[in-house]
Amino acid sequence: MVMLKDSLQARERIRGVTHYTPLMYSKTLSEMSGNEVYLKCENFQKTGSFKIRGAYNAVSHLSDEQKARGVVTGSSGNHGQALAYAASLQGVRCVVVMPEDASLAKIAACKGYGGEVLLHGVTSEARLDRAQELVENEGLIMVHPFDNPHIIAGQGTISLEIMEQLPGVEYILAPVGGGGLLSGVAMAAKEVCPSLKVLGVEPAVGPRLRYSWDRGTVSELERWSPSVADGLRARRPGKLPFEVTRKYVDDLIQVEEQEIIDATKLIMERVKLVVEPSGAVTAAAVLARKLGAQGQNVVCVVSGGNVELAKLAKIIG
- Residues 187 and 215: beta-carbon distance below 8 Å: no
Long-range contacts, stretch 11-15, CB < 8 angstroms, 24+ apart: 11/157, 11/160, 13/56, 13/57, 13/60, 13/154, 14/52, 14/53, 14/56, 14/57, 14/154, 14/157
pLDDT at res. 117: 96
Beta strands in 217-269 (DSSP E): 251-255
pLDDT in tens, 53-91: 999 999 999 999 999 999 999 987 899 999 999 999 999
Q: Regarding beta strands 197-203 and 116-119, do their DSSP bridges make them parallel or antiparallel, or are they unpaired?
A: unpaired
CATH of domain 51-146: 3.40.50.1100
Reading the chain (317 residues) residue by residue, the pLDDT tens digits are 899 999 999 999 999 999 999 999 999 999 999 999 999 999 999 999 999 999 999 999 999 999 999 999 998 789 999 999 999 999 999 999 998 988 787 889 999 999 999 999 887 788 889 999 999 999 999 999 999 999 999 999 999 999 999 999 999 999 999 999 999 999 999 999 999 999 999 999 999 999 999 999 999 998 888 898 988 878 899 999 999 999 999 999 999 999 999 999 999 999 999 999 999 999 999 999 999 899 999 999 999 998 878 878 887 77
pLDDT at res. 224: 80
- Residues 260 and 291: beta-carbon distance below 8 Å: no
CA atoms within 13 A of residue 289's CA, in its CB half-sphere: 6
CATH of domain 4-46+150-316: 3.40.50.1100
Distance from C-alpha of 281 to C-alpha of 192, rounded to nearest angstrom:
25
pLDDT at res. 313: 82
Q: Say which of 26, 33, 46, 51 is annotated catalytic.
A: 51
- Residues 142 and 95: beta-carbon distance below 8 Å: no
CATH 3.40.50.1100 domain range(s) in the chain:
4-46+150-316, 51-146
Q: Say which of 7, 26, 75, 303 is annotated catalytic.
A: 303
Q: What is the 3-state secondary structure (H, E, C) of 2-50?
A: CCHHHHHHHHHHHCCCCCCCCEEECHHHHHHHCCEEEEEEHHHCHHHEC
Identity at 171, one-letter amino acid code: Y
Q: Is 51 a catalytic residue?
A: yes
Is residue 192 within a helix (H) or strand (E), and if so which, with residue range? helix 180-192
Beta strands in 49-132 (DSSP E): 71-74, 94-98, 116-119
Distance from C-alpha of 36 to C-alpha of 294, rounded to nearest angstrom:
9
Backbone angles phi, psi at 242, to 5 degrees: -60, -45
Identity at 188, one-letter amino acid code: A
For residue 12, the Cα-to-chain-centroid distance in whole angstroms is 20
pLDDT at res. 309: 81
Q: Is 75 a catalytic residue?
A: no
Alpha carbon distances (Å) from 269 to 30, 130, 275, 282 = 15, 39, 11, 17
pLDDT at res. 103: 75
For residue 239, the Cα-to-chain-centroid distance in whole angstroms is 16
pLDDT at res. 122: 81
